[in-house]
């Protein structure tokens, strides 16, 4: 029997690699779940268009939210992050923002709509984030103090909602002055339940400063005398709502369509101007007027194609019947569990014009952002960008045309309420175009689609 006390341990040989592993393990134990993987800190957000597909694999679903989280993680020590998102419901986003504030002393400021975090609609992630951002600000300069604001209505105007969806980073990876704008809220739903887009701009200080100005106004949560702003920066024009004050005569969408001529395009075969639209919500008196404007464009020869999620009955009637032929349309919604309620839906708000726009007969114009084609948008905080770049329009058009050609299946099955039979559930066939306000077997298919 060996005497345990007399055994001398073998001399350990510590290699540089083993030492690095030991240090990494120790740091992981000390830091815990707030640690950032090294590859995340090296991420430099690519410029351009990103879209996600909730019917794809994990990578396809998280094309937008993953881009956002990696960018948050890549902001260096004492950088700045500013987020305006109608809603935030993602533990991954909340954790990344808390890490930035606590571990790297990044100035993190966030604006959301109070409708999404209140006693009647609890949001535990926002509560956790707000508590974390309140701590540790005493010894920071003003630009690096963190905080969270819940706007009661539109932050910069009366009524409406705080509906903007933009994300600002003073630096992320090797990129400075990063601006992201589009349709995606910082929610898990945006990945697995919605088709979304975001457009990323890097290195344009003037655009970044304009968006910082708008964010600062939102964060104060006070009415401003001139809420509508339109600033042009080369090929990009930034327009912020509420649509009030100087320069707001008429309707912004109909104003854009008024610049479109349907013939004489030099960058399309046959000279017909192409209009592509991807719209979440299109209804009300405003929606009808926009529908007439679109319908007239097709009647005059424009090549129009539309994908949408929600449209009013009159909007659909105008687009389908007020001309020699219907405007080509596809409703991008899905009811995967067959209960008669849409669980997945298009959430983009994009229009492109390829062709004759104003005096330009070879125009490449994309309008993206957070604004639906409904009355509420004009009273709300929204950011819309007009981008005159060929590559941007081509990327959006490929995606819109793909959605048009490949709409998600629209047939599900469910048990009809009151049925006592043990036979298979009755099929529920949803019409190709189902207007807002419809009911199928007493069920509202739009019950789960929020305003955001």
Is the CA virtual torsion 252, 258, 262, 266 positive or negative? negative
The confidence score (pLDDT) of residue 34 equals: 54
pTM of the model: 0.89
Residue 60 has pLDDT above 50, yes or no: yes
What pLDDT does residue 33 have?
44
Using an 8 Å Cβ cutoff, are 104 and 79 in contact? yes
Task: Please say if the pLDDT value at position 405 is more than 50.
Answer: yes
In three-state secondary structure terms, 189 is helix
* Model confidence pLDDT, tens digit, residues 294-327: 999 999 999 999 999 999 999 999 999 999 999 9
Q: Which two tokens stand for residue 433?
A: 């175009």
**pLDDT > 90 fraction of the chain, expressed in percent and rounded:** 81
Q: How confident is the model at residue 40 (pLDDT cuts 50, 70, 90)?
A: low
Q: Do 34-233 and 254-405 have matching folds?
A: yes
The two beta strands, 329-331 and 303-311, are parallel
Reported in sequence order, the residue ranges of 323-425 that DSSP labels E, i.e. its strands, are 329-331, 333-334, 344-346, 349-357, 360-369, 382-387, 411-414
Tell me what pLDDT residue 171 has: 98
CATH class label, 34-233: alpha beta
Q: How confident is the model at residue 451, as a pLDDT? A: 72
Eight-state DSSP code of residue 265: -
CA distance linking residue 200 with residue 126, whole number of Å:
25
Token pair 């890549």 in the structure block, residue: 74
Q: Can you tell me the distance from the alpha carbon of 34 to that of 157, in angstroms, rounded to the nearest whole number?
A: 37
pLDDT at 96 over 80: yes
Contacts of 72 (CB under 8 A, 6+ apart): 81, 93, 96, 97, 100, 169, 172
The mean of the pLDDT values for the chain is: 90
At 36 the pLDDT is 61
**Residue 237 main-chain phi, psi, to 5 deg:** -115, 125
Residue 355 binned pLDDT confidence (cut-offs 50, 70, 90)? very high
Query: Token pair for residue 406?
Result: 């490949």
d(CA 383, CA 122): 26
**Per CATH, is 254-405 categorized as 3.90.1640.30?**
no
Give pLDDT tens digits for 172-229.
Answer: 999 999 999 999 999 999 999 999 999 999 999 999 999 999 999 999 999 999 999 9
Tell me the backbone φ, ψ of residue 300, rounded to 5 degrees.
Answer: -95, 5
Domain ranges of the chain: 34-233, 254-405
Please compute the mean of the pLDDT values over residues 234-250 and round it to a whole number.
98
Query: In terms of DSSP bridges, do strands 80-85 and 165-172 run parallel, antiparallel, or are they unpaired?
Result: antiparallel
């Amino acid at each position: 029997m060996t005497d345990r006390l007399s055994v001398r341990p073998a001399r350990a040989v510590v290699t540089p690699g083993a030492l690095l592993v030991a240090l990494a393990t120790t740091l992981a134990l000390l830091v815990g779940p707030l640690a950032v993987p090294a590859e995340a800190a090296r991420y430099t957000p690519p410029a351009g268009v990103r879209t996600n597909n909730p019917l794809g694999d994990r990578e396809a679903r998280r094309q937008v939210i993953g881009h956002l989280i990696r960018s948050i993680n890549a902001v260096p020590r004492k950088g700045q992050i500013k987020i305006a998102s109608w809603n935030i419901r993602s533990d991954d986003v909340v954790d990344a923002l808390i890490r930035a504030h606590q571990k790297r002393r990044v100035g993190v400021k966030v604006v959301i709509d109070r409708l999404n975090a209140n006693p009647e609609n609890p949001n535990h992630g926002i509560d956790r984030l707000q508590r974390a951002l309140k701590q540790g600000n005493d010894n920071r300069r003003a630009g690096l103090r963190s905080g969270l604001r819940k706007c009661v209505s539109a932050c910069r105007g009366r009524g409406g909602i705080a509906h903007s969806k933009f994300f600002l980073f003073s630096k992320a990876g090797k990129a400075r002055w990063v601006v992201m704008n589009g349709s995606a809220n910082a929610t898990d739903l945006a990945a697995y339940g919605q088709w979304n887009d975001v457009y990323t701009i890097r290195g344009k200080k003037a655009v970044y400063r304009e968006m910082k100005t708008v964010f600062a106004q939102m964060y104060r949560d006070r009415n401003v005398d001139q809420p509508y702003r339109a600033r042009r920066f080369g090929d990009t024009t930034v327009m912020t709502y509420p649509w009030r004050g100087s320069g707001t005569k008429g309707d912004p969408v109909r104003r854009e369509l008024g610049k479109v001529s349907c013939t004489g395009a030099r960058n399309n075969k046959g000279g017909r101007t192409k209009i592509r639209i991807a719209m979440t919500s299109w209804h009300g008196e405003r929606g009808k007027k926009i529908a007439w404007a679109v319908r007239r464009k097709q009647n005059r020869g424009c090549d129009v194609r539309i994908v949408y999620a929600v449209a009013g009955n009159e909007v659909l009637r105008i687009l389908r019947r007020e001309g020699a032929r219907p405007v080509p349309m596809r409703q991008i919604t899905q009811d995967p569990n067959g209960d008669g309620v849409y669980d997945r839906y298009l959430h983009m708000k994009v229009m492109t014009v390829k062709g004759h726009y104003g005096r330009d007969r070879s125009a490449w114009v994309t309008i993206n952002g957070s604004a639906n084609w409904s009355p509420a948008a004009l009273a709300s905080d929204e950011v819309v960008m007009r981008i005159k770049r060929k590559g941007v329009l081509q990327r959006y058009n490929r995606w819109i045309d793909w959605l048009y050609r490949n709409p998600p299946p629209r047939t599900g099955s469910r048990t009809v309420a009151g049925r006592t039979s043990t036979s298979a559930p009755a099929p529920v066939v949803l019409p190709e175009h189902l207007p807002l306000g419809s009911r199928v077997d007493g069920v509202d298919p739009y019950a789960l689609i929020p305003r955001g």
